[in-house]
């Protein structure tokens, strides 16, 4: 999420684990032109033995460093300050909104506030999520921010350009977070706002051509935004060397299979093989209720079909996927220390070692809205690029409990009705449809029945729940306040 906010400021950023090679960090800064380092938050406690620490070289390279939450705590610990756990201080873990008072007129916070008190103190509305707290500042640091429950909520050593916050400027709940991070990367670090999609396309096309050479690429086309943009980008790079395999597992949106074929095969000239695998998937999912187990089964079947289809394509050496940065982050715990796995992802870590295909993931470093921006720049229709996200496992993870064909059919129709109503309902203030005002909306099938009335008769039918959220980054979200008339 921090990297996403830096990208918002049109500055390129990379994410690397805390235990990466110090020599890599040195080369990144001194040879590749890196201008700053941000130490992120995390679920660990610096008071625990063996907890993560920033490589000491971070503080020795002469570039600005910003610590956020855990990043502040490890900065304080490593530079001579002190940190204590909430339990040792007799406090509860702090989670939620808080009001922070700025101190010291630092270059990073000067003039940034949400409101001021009657005494003239600048106040920021921020988001807190921490158990540990800094109790003593390191030498040469001064207080930058505080709250009633967290006396040291920010600290700064402006000579070395080291700054740190206990709150999270990267989340949208911190109202001035974008301004704070923008000031850090532009004014403190001196980065130029030159990260633009036009340049990315040229670089990505060149990289794909060099990486693939004259070999064939096979891509799983789902009809979703990510795989569609990946297909368009790879096709731009290597043309006829790309073959898309569209697996219809019976868990797509209503009429989506025909729409995918119309768009890619007929309109864009991309080679697409359509595989009808509804019965195969339904058979494997029979009797399975656990959502994680369903994800694994769907992913496994998907890969097996790819193995079969790739064997039919001469010189197929590459499997392309629409993996994007949030996919990798969601599955962070599987390959990185110091992060908790939220859920496995169908695009990450699901390939067997004997698949004999190399992996091509041209969107792996991009966030969702960057992928959309890229899709428009590649010439894809805006209505396709700005469709709501749809999971790779499809309706399989939107049906609670066992997946059955009749449940999928019912959910497809219910979801289509919901989306149609969102598209047709216009908000009077913004004059936008509620489909455009929501970031993701969908129906969920619940395996329970409820009594109702239709006309003059009693009904006893399955229940469908409607979900709708609004988000800027697809990492955190608010539920959408849909109007009563629409519901």
**pLDDT beyond 50 at 345:** no
**pLDDT beyond 50 at 333:** no
**pLDDT beyond 80 at 106:** yes
Q: What is the pLDDT of residue 332?
A: 52
Selecting among 103, 130, 168, 235, the annotated active-site residue is: 168
Cα–Cα distance between 275 and 272 in angstroms, integer? Answer: 10
Selecting among 69, 150, 191, 244, the annotated active-site residue is: 69
- Per-residue pLDDT band for 43 (boundaries 50, 70, 90) equals confident
Q: What is the pLDDT of residue 130?
A: 81
Q: What pLDDT digit, counting tens, does each position of 380-414 carry?
A: 888 888 889 888 899 999 999 999 999 999 999 99
**pLDDT beyond 50 at 348:** no
**pLDDT beyond 80 at 351:** no
* Domains of the chain as residue ranges with CATH: 2-188 (3.40.50.880), 197-394 (3.40.50.620), 404-479 (3.30.300.10)
Q: What is the pLDDT of residue 382?
A: 86
Q: Is 191 a catalytic residue?
A: no
- Per-residue pLDDT band for 34 (boundaries 50, 70, 90) equals very high
Q: What pLDDT digit, counting tens, does each position of 416-473 carry?
A: 999 999 999 999 999 999 999 999 999 999 999 999 998 888 999 999 999 999 987 6
Q: Is 244 a catalytic residue?
A: no
**pLDDT beyond 50 at 229:** yes
Question: pTM here?
Answer: 0.72
**pLDDT beyond 70 at 213:** yes
Selecting among 103, 130, 170, 365, the annotated active-site residue is: 170
- Per-residue pLDDT band for 304 (boundaries 50, 70, 90) equals confident
Q: What is the pLDDT of residue 206?
A: 97
Cβ–Cβ under 8 Å, residues 148 and 166:
no
Q: Is 189 a catalytic residue?
A: no
């Amino acid at each position: 999420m921090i990297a996403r906010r830096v990208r918002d400021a049109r500055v390129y950023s990379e994410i690397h684990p805390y235990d990466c090679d110090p020599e890599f960090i040195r080369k990144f800064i001194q040879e590749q032109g890196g201008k700053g380092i941000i130490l992120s938050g995390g679920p660990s406690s610096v008071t625990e033995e063996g907890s993560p620490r920033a490589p000491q070289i971070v503080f020795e390279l002469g570039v600005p460093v910003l610590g956020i939450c855990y990043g502040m705590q490890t900065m304080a610990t490593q530079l001579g300050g002190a940190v204590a756990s909430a339990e040792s201080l007799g406090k509860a873990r702090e989670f939620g909104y808080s009001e922070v008072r700025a101190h010291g007129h630092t270059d990073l916070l000067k003039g940034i506030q949400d409101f001021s008190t009657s005494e003239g103190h600048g106040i920021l509305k921020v988001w807190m999520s921490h158990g540990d707290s800094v109790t003593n500042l390191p030498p040469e640091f001064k207080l930058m921010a505080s709250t009633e429950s967290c006396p040291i909520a920010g600290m700064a050593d402006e000579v070395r350009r080291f700054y740190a916050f206990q709150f999270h400027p990267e989340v949208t709940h911190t109202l001035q977070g974008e301004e704070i991070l923008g000031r850090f990367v532009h004014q403190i670090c001196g980065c130029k706002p030159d990260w633009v999609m036009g340049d990315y396309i040229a670089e990505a096309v060149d990289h794909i051509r060099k990486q693939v050479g004259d070999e064939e690429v096979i891509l799983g086309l789902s009809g979703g935004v990510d795989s569609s943009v990946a297909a368009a980008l790879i096709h731009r790079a290597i043309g006829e060397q790309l073959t898309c395999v569209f697996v219809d597992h019976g868990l797509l949106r209503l009429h989506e299979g025909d729409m995918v074929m119309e768009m890619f095969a007929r309109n864009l000239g991309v080679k697409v093989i359509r595989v009808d695998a509804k019965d195969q998937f339904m058979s494997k999912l029979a009797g399975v209720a656990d959502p994680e187990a369903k994800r694994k089964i769907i992913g496994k079947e998907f890969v097996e079909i790819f193995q079969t289809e790739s064997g039919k394509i001469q010189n197929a050496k590459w499997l392309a996927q629409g993996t994007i940065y949030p996919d990798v982050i969601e599955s962070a715990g599987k390959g990185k220390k110091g992060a908790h796995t939220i859920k496995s992802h169908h695009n990450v870590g699901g390939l067997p070692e004997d698949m004999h295909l190399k992996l091509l993931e041209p969107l792996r470093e991009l966030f969702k809205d960057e992928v959309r921006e890229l899709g428009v720049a590649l010439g894809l229709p805006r209505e396709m690029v700005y469709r709501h996200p749809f999971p790779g496992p499809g309706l399989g993870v939107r049906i609670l409990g066992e997946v059955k064909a009749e449940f999928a059919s019912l959910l497809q129709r219910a979801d289509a009705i919901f989306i149609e109503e969102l598209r047709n309902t216009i908000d009077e203030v913004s004059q936008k449809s509620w489909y455009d005002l929501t970031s993701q909306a969908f129906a969920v099938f619940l395996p329970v029945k409820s009594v109702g009335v239709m006309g003059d008769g009693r009904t006893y039918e399955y229940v469908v729940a409607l979900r709708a959220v609004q988000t800027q980054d697809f990492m955190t979200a608010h539920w959408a306040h849909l109007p009563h008339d629409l519901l």
